[in-house]
Amino acid sequence: MHLISIGKLRAEAAQYPDVSRQIQEWHGVIKNAEWQSLEDVRQIFRDAEAVGNFTVFNIKGNAYRLIVGIDYEEGVIYYKYFLTHAEYNKDKWKNDPYY
């Protein structure tokens, strides 16, 4: 899978130094993935879930949420948001027109 906006993800996640290793590991996994569906994603990230048109990953024991859009046919992941659990629960990200 090809990730669009890895630079933006790294910049936003840099606010939280305790997650740099998890972000690097996540990116390493997705670079080699050939997912065709959410079920394929869940083979590796069992807590990943579809919310609206997004896929949400729990990062660092659910302390953070990584929100992406996945185009399975094209093999592309579009980074959208990196949020703390508290920010995620405010649901402001659901105002995104893609949601």
3-state secondary structure of 21: helix
Q: How many C-beta atoms surround the C-beta of residue 31 within 10 A?
A: 12
* Token representation of residue 65: 């949420």
* Beta strand pairing call for 76-84 and 2-4: parallel
Cα 55 from Cα 57, distance rounded (Å)? 7
Q: Crossing angle of helices 6-13/20-32, nearest 10°?
A: 160
Tens-digit pLDDT profile for residues 1-57: 999 999 999 999 999 999 999 999 999 999 999 999 999 999 999 999 999 999 999
Global pTM reads 0.94
3-state secondary structure of 64: strand
Contact 4, 76 (CB under 8 A): yes
